[in-house]
Amino acid sequence: MLWLLLALIAFICQMLAVLLLEFRNPSKTVAWLFILFCLPLVGFVLYFFMARDYQHRLMVRNRGTRLFQEIRGHLWEKAAVVRRASEMHNPEFHHHLRLFNLLSHLSESPITGCNSTKVLTDGEQTYAAMLDAMEKAKDHIHVEFYIFRHDTIGTKFQDVMIRKAKEGVKVRLICDGLGSYKLKKSFVRRFKESGVEFHYFLPAMISVLNRRINYRNHRKIVVVDGTVGFLGGINVGDDYLGKYQKMGYWRDTHLEVEGDAVYFLQNVFLHDWRLASGEKIVDLGLFPEHHCTGEEQVQILSSGPDMSWNAIQEMCFGSISVARKRIWITTPYFIPDEGLFEAIKTAAVSGVDVRIIIPDKADSRLVKLASLSYVEELLAAGVRFYEYQKGFIHAKVLIVDDLIGSVGTANMDMRSFFCNFELTAVLFDKEPMERLVSDFEEDLRNSRMIDVGKFKDRGRLQKGAEIFCRMLSPLL
């Protein structure tokens, strides 16, 4: 009897600890309480190691801020910064001052107006563009990926980076400690012995000991000579070329950028380099003059647990809230927070054309079940869901009216918005918007629309599994 009483007291103390520490985030609180209820002791151990509030690490956040402040004035002076809505090429923004002001104040990265972009729609096209840019490097190559594999394409990237390092080009590489934990030591050692500076971002074991395993660097960045940059959904691995039989054809979206937006992509890399290596680099030579060949307006938004604003989530919410004609979303994982869920639902009920493409074939069963738990209510509100049939769709794209299109690393889920280090490019001009629309329409042709009636008739076991995963969704 005594041990039962002690166990009950311990259980109550664990629940109180979660309530006191997570009361600002009700959805996470419910998820952790559910885990504690199912696994009382194990659940609290998981909470201890995974739920540390990264935002309390003020020293880490201030490091990035100080780094930015030392080059902020230089960048704002060199870049063609858009300061007023009247300067936007799209005249619709003249009637959306609130959205423009939101975007202008979300991030230390402004909207810049001297850029050219190219939308890349699969791994083969993206890798060819990246490798070509790296082959032409004269000064430096900065590379950052969540996943970097030691397979055929990974070795090809390695060979190019090592060759350029031996030619005197400064090559720096960051890989996420958990996403790239399978990298062979010999593969990493070859980088280091050949002159490539390599660092893991939050190595897996250190993340466990420091209780930061839940915060991953999900960004994908390549910057060459400070003039051309790449970002989007594609990591480095043969699976992104469709060579994994389990997933088949891999549909993704990446972006090549030239112009002033690269300044701010570079700044994100240097911030992450400081956190990964401890080395503070303030070298204005990494931000060379651009010979402007394009006039596209682009904004680079970064978000992460070390920042005061959830910039990407705020951008999504703000743009969805002002939609009048369409909201088109492509995402491999659809686990929206309560605000975004209600914004999407309200838009659909109001007559906005809301279409969401998700994978039919999922790389995570738990995440797929959690995603489906949100579908029925949104279907009833008028949202149309499509399951991609050609293979696995991993693109992260948002299109709102003719106002904005975004391409980046962030999924439409709570992990991307509130836990991971993410990166997104917001596009405003007609040409890249038309390309995103064209790609979305092509993806629709390769998708199957979810029928409301059939979806409601799914089995009780399926519904129960969805409910279970819904409870865990803030942590997936």
Q: What is the pLDDT of residue 56?
A: 46
What are phi and psi for residue 384, nearest 5 degrees? -105, 125
Q: What is the pLDDT of residue 212?
A: 47
Cα distances (angstroms) measured from residue 13 to each of 139, 162, 476: 57, 54, 25
Q: What is the pLDDT of residue 210?
A: 40
Q: List all residues 6 or more positions away from 40 whose beta carbon is below 8 Å from its beta carbon.
A: 7, 10, 11, 14
Helix orientation angle between 58-78 and 261-277, rounded to the nearest 10 degrees = 150
Q: What is the pLDDT of residue 317?
A: 94
Say how far apart CA 167 and CA 155 lie, in whole Å.
Answer: 18
Q: List all residues 6 or more positions away from 15 whose beta carbon is below 8 Å from its beta carbon.
A: 33, 36
Is the pLDDT higher at 13 or at 295? 295
Say how far apart CA 87 and CA 69 lie, in whole Å.
Answer: 25
Task: Determine the average pLDDT of the residues in 246-254.
Answer: 91
Cβ atoms within 10 Å of 389's Cβ, excluding its own: 14
Long-range contacts at 56-61 (CB < 8 A, ≥ 24 apart): 57/306, 60/275, 60/306, 61/306, 61/307, 61/308
Task: Determine the average pLDDT of the residues in 77-96.
Answer: 83
**Mean pLDDT over each residue of the chain, to the nearest integer:** 83
In this predicted structure, the answer to whether residue 209 has a pLDDT above a threshold of 80 is no
What are phi and psi for residue 404, nearest 5 degrees? -140, 155
What letters, b where the CB count within 10 A reaches 16 and e where it falls short, cover 341-376? eebbbebbeeebbbbbbbbbbbeeeebbbbbbbbbb
Burial of 155 (0-12, 13-18, 19+ CB in 10 A): middle
Q: Could you tell me the pTM of the whole model?
A: 0.86
- DSSP label at residue 226: T
Q: What is the pLDDT of residue 467?
A: 64
Q: What is the pLDDT of residue 374?
A: 83
Q: What is the pLDDT of residue 269?
A: 96
- Strand-pairing partners, residue 447, are 388
Spatial contact of 37 and 8, defined as CB atoms under 8 Å apart? no
CA atoms within 13 Å, Cβ hemisphere of 102: 19
| Model pLDDT for residues 39-80, shown as the tens digit of each residue | 555 454 455 455 555 444 444 444 444 445 666 667 777 777
- Sign for the pseudo-dihedral over CA of 206, 208, 211, 212: positive
Residues with catalytic function = 218, 220, 225, 394, 396, 401
